[in-house]
Amino acid sequence: MRKDLNAIWRRKGIRALLMIMPAVLVVVIPLAYFATISLLPVPETAHRPEVLLSLLSAETAGHGYRQFWMDAFTSLMCPMLFLAVPIVCAVTSAACVFVSEKENHTLETLLLSPMSSRSIFNTKITVCVMVTIIISVVSFFVFAITVSVADIVISAPFFMSLEWLVTLFLLMPSVTLFSVVFVTLLIHRVGSVGECLQTVGYILLPFLVLFLIQFTGAIRLNALFLGVLSVVLFAVSVLLFNFSARRFNADSLFSRTGSI
């Protein structure tokens, strides 16, 4: 674990991505949005979309125009931005821990050591999940401070809700584990860290579509829906984890016929 943590920290590109990307997603974008709705004038004919009103709490209907859009942003869009943090960080750390060693031809030596391949696999998964969850939790607290100050300044409703609690304590860990395991399924195919990082879009796109569908009024991502999604993701992750662990050996990883 110490070796893998050092490997993540030593690579400047990986370290910068793990620090800059969360800051942009949970601080820069919310601050830019807050500045925009605070400075732009409100037209006299401005109205609030009925679709968004139906997705927000009844309390929001009694607030002003700017407060409404702040509540809509923190309740409907910010969870999507927050979930992008564990996805990006999980794929990045897993790419460094798994693919980088394969790229540098050190993984084969490690697999031929006295340690069992399952122990090595479990340790690397643990490192990636641990790093991602720590970064995600820190990002959430920074986001909470940023948005709370903005809510106070603009007199908007406090952003925290049951949906946010489910997202933080259930959905985020499930997404983290799924993203890390997803990368382990691809190490037989990808040849470099940069190539592996391109897989972020495959994981991020379904969540992006899911959150955007809300704006059509077709579904509502309430706490129950997010909780069920978390359980499903965790169950799928466990199945994929066991499948990938069985294939994590020198014969499979370094044979020309190794495939998904």
pLDDT for 255 equals 61
**pTM of the predicted model, to two decimals?**
0.92
- 223 phi/psi in degrees, rounded to 5: -60, -40
Q: What tokens were used for 130? A: 């641990």
Q: What is the mean pLDDT of residues 69-77?
A: 93
Q: Which residue has the higher pLDDT, 241 or 195?
A: 241
Q: What is the pLDDT of residues 10-52, one digit of tens each?
A: 889 999 999 999 999 999 999 999 999 999 888 777 788 888 8
Q: What is the pLDDT of residues 115-151, one digit of tens each?
A: 888 999 999 999 999 999 999 999 999 999 999 999 9
Q: What tokens were used for 97? A: 């821990």
pLDDT for 259 equals 39
Q: What is the pLDDT of residues 55-70, one digit of tens each?
A: 888 777 678 889 999 9
Given a cut of 60, whether residue 80 has pLDDT beyond it is yes
Single-letter residue type at 240: L
